[in-house]
Structure 1
Amino acid sequence: MSQISSRLGAERITALGSYTTLQPAADRAANALRSQGRSYLRRLFATDLILVGTACALPAVANSGPGQNYYLLAGVLLAAAWMISLRSFKTHALGNVAVGMAEYKSLAYASLAMAGSLGVLIGLSGLGTLRIFLLLTLPVGLASLLSNRWAWRQWLARRRRSGYALSHVLIYGQPADVPFAVRQISGKSGPAYRVVGVLLDGSADEQAEQEIRAADPTLPLAYGGGSLEHQVQALGADAVIVAGPLAGGNEALQHLGWSLESSGTKLIVASSLVGVASRRVRTSPLDGMPLLHVDLAKFSGARYLLKRGFDVLFSAAALLALAPVFLVIAAVIKLEGPGKVFFLQERAGQDGRPFKMFKFRTMGPDAEAKLAQLRERNDGAGPLFKLKDDPRITRCGHWLRKHSLDELPQFLNVLRGEMSVVGPRPPLFTEVAAYEGHAHRRLLLKPGVTGLWQVSGRSNLDWKESVRLDLYYAENWTVLSDARIIWRTFRVMIKPDGAY
């Protein structure tokens, strides 16, 4: 058995030892876990088949005359081809469901491929009667499929609270790589993966242990790759996620795959290429060695002209629509006491250019004068200054901050071209002065009224995670990702998380 970290004490040793004595029960548990994922995929397939079949039957239902049998036969053939297309695009494969946008994209691509094929068939054969399938069946079917997957995700989210997951994974790798993998998979994968244990490839590492314990103090943790198969069986894992390179190099990874074949345990390799969206990565094979082609991040071009156009339209519409809200908030601020309605603060914009950022005033008029004596009570991460119970905040200010209403005037900055609707967090120059490493890259884009930082916990995030989110956004944003962040912002404003 592997060398168990002495710092975890007898409790962990006892826990791991109990897995060995209860091996038959662990085997049954592992089989049960595998059946969970298979059962979910069968349910997805069944509901997709029902929805596709229903959509393909619509033309036959709409045409009750002599040609009904023709539409019925065409509908059956189209439904079969559609299901084959869904399978070809791996819409029913673990790893492609229940997490991220990949599932929805696969459904859309499979359906668009079906639409393209049907369009070619109509053009070549001249069967204009099939156009109803193109104009009615495919749009209705795709909308139904997307809604169905969303509904299944809600079901999974409810089941996840009781420990349900489609795949239970053991994370294996070197101490330098595993803690990040544990944090990301435990916190971001939703019901797709549940981490049931960690195996470190190397000697005891106190810092790695502390970081893993901070992410999940309940995880069994052991050392030594030689005990991998035992740990997989003992913990009931149905997959092994390899985080980063192994000490033995590529050969060790190949041998690991061979050792897992007999148990049917899936092998998942987490790329050491982090902070890069999948759309920027292409794979090409080279005699058994997959090559990853990574597109470099770009910070200019047509996409940014489109982003600016959206910013102007959105901010102008928001300012017009919110004008009554502005009047109400301004009146409440004035009624509470003396002072200006708006607070202007100098922030660092794109490429570090200074600009005055607009906010509704949420503090007393002497807030800046009191700042120095409050710095020792800082609750913020890194160079950020935040106080959960800041005595300078007014009564209405607490409510405005909680629901992010104090930030609405920033649409004026967007209209003026100093900010964007979505972007990195606008920093103070005192924060910029404390930047280390690559943190300055967050200044490559205009700061945003909202962003990944706001919809992912805001002040609850540590400094490192806040920087990581801003850098990821700056290098990987898309129009679709901006739309998703805006939608999530509305939800966060209603149910605040980390706003103070």
Structure 2
Amino acid sequence: MWQGGTVGSALPSARDALAHDAFGRTTNDWEQRYRRTVITGDTVATAVVVAAIGNFFGARDAANWHEKWGILAFGTWLLVLGSFTVSRAWAPAVLGQGAEEFRRLGRSLFTATVVLALGGIALTSRNIKLWIFVAIPAIALVTMTERYLLRLWLHKQRKEGRCLRPVLAAGSLATVRDLINRTRKFPHIGWQVAAVCTTDGLGLDGHLVDGVPVVGRLSDVAGHVCRSGYRVVAVTPDPHWSPDRLQRLAWNLEGSDTEMVVAPVLMEVAGPRLHVDAVLGIPLLRVSMPTFTGGRRAVKEVVDRLGAALLLLLFAPLMVLVALLVLVDSRGGAFYRQRRVGKDGREFTILKFRTMVAGAHRARADLAELNEGAGLLFKMHRDPRVTRVGAVLRRYSIDELPQLFNVLTGSMSLVGPRPPLPEESAAYGPDIRRRLLVKPGLTGLWQISGRSDLPWEEAVRLDLRYVEDWSLALDTVILWKTLRAVLQGQGAY
């Protein structure tokens, strides 16, 4: 049930975050409550911002407050909420996961800005600039922060097994198992495979697939959905799924609350590169070429240089203090220089704060048998070469701050694949060398996904995924999540 008090307490409690029907399947009550909470939060946040701005600036013109400021404030509030509705910023499918939620939020506010500007031109209002350049940015800041905090709460609930959408997976044993493992590894997505349908109605161990019950054959999917009310039907690759059968399944699911999701064969290509086109009445999944040049890349270059310059100014006092601590803690210089491989295989010198004793590279051969890194990486949880100050710097990634100079000079980017050593790059196969198509990054998907705890294959997969699916929105999400990953210090040693 809902509890009174703060916004956080208005969300589903831990006891009733998941309701169950007669068949033991989770219902979507929490989805409706979460959506109502988001709508309430956006409405209240927008109202507070416009009221505060209207009262602050309207106090100087009290005689005409109602005419000039009150009407503009109320109109801006209605316009923003209307934009949220038109842009489907409250659609349940996008709430709580992925960058699409924030893209729609941004698109809504941009639409409101354009309408305000056109209205100001039509009405020749002198006060409209205040609402365009102050009110809308303030609303964006407050609503996006509110959405992010709600999302953190939702992800926490999902990690504890609550607020999950029950999924019926239908496909081959191998692809269904892969889906089960992925949903368990990434619970924040909100999927829980509650049942499975296979070609012959059998699992690996009788009627189970990794602990999930097999409830029938692939031909029985629609019937099970109607009886048990699954929120998602995930169709995974299997020879059974011909175009006619998929179409009939989609028809049979019409009128229900169940979402049908079809997993394509191109599992690692996603985001802005995937487009669905209808050609001669045939739905085709079009995969566009990855973008390595053009306007968006130019924007990324500008953001990299400006961002690095601002961060260097911000962290300058900290960097001076760290340099002094490194010098006092052990013999040697404050900085460590190392050759790395950048875009198109060009080598450059990377800068880091020194975290090891002088001459540490010469002792690496003696520690080869103790290597805990996977693939081509050399890593040790308790490397004897790391100094006391260096251990702290590594845990919170402070040793990497000097790489901002590499970003400023153009050899690195704020976000990108991990910069490899020359000997690592020399051992790359043709597929892994695709990491070198873009600049290496100060942070990346590897940074927010476990860092040194990642298996080599997973680190490579994440880097290649970034190269293939890069977008400005993805960069923004990675930069935002990097802060939390650094503060937690997980996977850094």
What TM-score do the two structures reach when normalised by structure 2?
Answer: 0.79
> Mean Cα displacement is larger for which, 271-280 or 66-75?
66-75
Greater Cα offset, 115-124 or 395-404: 115-124
Give the letter for the 2:108 counterpart: A
| Unaligned 5+ runs, structure 2 | 1-19
- Corresponding residue for residue 371 of structure 1: 364
CA shift for structure 1 position 98: 0.7
Partner AA of 1:424 in structure 2: P
Match runs of 1:136-285 below 5 Å: 138-165=136-163, 167-175=165-173, 177-188=175-186, 190=188, 192-201=190-199, 219-220=212-213, 224-229=217-222, 232=225, 237-244=230-237, 247-261=240-254, 264-285=257-278
The one-character-per-residue Cα deviations of 1:88-133 (angstroms, maximum 9, x if unpaired) are 3222222211112211221222233233334434544667787776
**CA contact under 8 A between 2:237 and 2:264: conserved in structure 1?**
yes
Higher mean displacement: 447-456 or 470-479:
470-479
Residue 9 (structure 2) aligns with: none
Asked if 1:44 corresponds to 2:38, the answer is yes
Amino acid at match of 2:191: Y
Match of 1:34 in 2: 28
Map 1:30-429 → 2, pairs under 5 A: 30=25, 33-52=27-46, 62=58, 68=66, 82-124=80-122, 138-165=136-163, 167-175=165-173, 177-188=175-186, 190=188, 192-201=190-199, 219-220=212-213, 224-229=217-222, 232=225, 237-244=230-237, 247-261=240-254, 264-286=257-279, 289-319=282-312, 321-429=314-422
Separation in 1, partners of 2:216, 2:373 = 35
Shift of 1:441: 0.4
Q: Work out the CA distance in 2 between the residues paired with 1:112 and 1:81.
A: 11
Give distance in 2, aligned partners of 1:385 and 1:489.
23
Deviations 1:295-338 (A, max 9, x none): 31122344444444444444445455545444443444444444
Paired with 1:408 and 1:133, the residues of 2 have a C-alpha distance of 38
Q: 1:401 to 1:78 in 2, by over 3 A?
A: closer
Contact 2:277/2:283 (8 A) holds in 1:
yes
CA contact (8 A) 1:171 1:178 kept: yes
TM-score (norm 1): 0.78
Question: What's the CA shift for 1:466?
Answer: 1.1
SS in structure 2 at match of 1:468 = helix
Q: What amino acid is aligned across from residue 322 of structure 2 in structure 1?
A: I
Structure 1 residue 490, shift from structure 2 partner? 3.0
Cα offset, 1:498, TM superposition: 0.7
Which residue type is aligned with residue 249 of structure 1? S
Q: For the residues of structure 1 that align with 2:253 and 2:233, how far apart are their CA atoms?
A: 9
In 2, Cα distance between the equivalents of 1:233 and 1:364?
66
Equivalent residue number for residue 478 of structure 2: 485
Tell whether the 8 Å contact from 1:165 to 1:193 is kept in structure 2 after alignment. Answer: no
Q: Aligned to 1:379, what secondary structure does the other structure show?
A: coil
Task: Name which of structure 1's ranges 266-275 and 434-443 shifts more when overlaid on structure 2.
Answer: 266-275
Q: Which has the higher contact order (CA 8 A, sep 6+)?
A: 1
Taking a change above 3 Å as real, the CA distance of residues 94 and 246 of structure 1, as seen in their structure-2 partners, is farther
CA distance in 1, matches of 2:37, 2:282: 36
2: distance between equivalents of 1:119 and 1:28? 54
| Residue pair 1:350, 1:444 contacting (<8 A) in 2 also | yes
Deviations 1:416-465, CA, capped at 9 Å, x for gaps: 43322322101123323443451110011121222221122111222222
Identity %: 32
Match of 1:456 in 2: 449
1:470 equivalent in alignment to 2:463: yes
| Bigger mean CA deviation after superposition, 219-228 or 62-71 | 62-71
Give me the whole-angstrom Cα distance separating, in 2, the residues matched to 1:352 and 1:148: 43
> Quick one: distance in 2 between partners of 1:410 and 1:66?
55
Whether the 8 Å contact between 1:319 and 1:411 is mirrored in structure 2 is: yes
Q: How many residues align?
A: 469
Q: Corresponding residue for 2:3?
A: none
CA RMSD of aligned residues (A): 3.9
Would the aligned equivalents of 2:80 and 2:109 in 1 still touch at CA under 8 Å? yes
Question: Could you say what secondary structure the match of 2:383 adopts?
Answer: coil
* Distance (whole Å) between structure 2 residues aligned to residue 367 and residue 469 of structure 1: 29
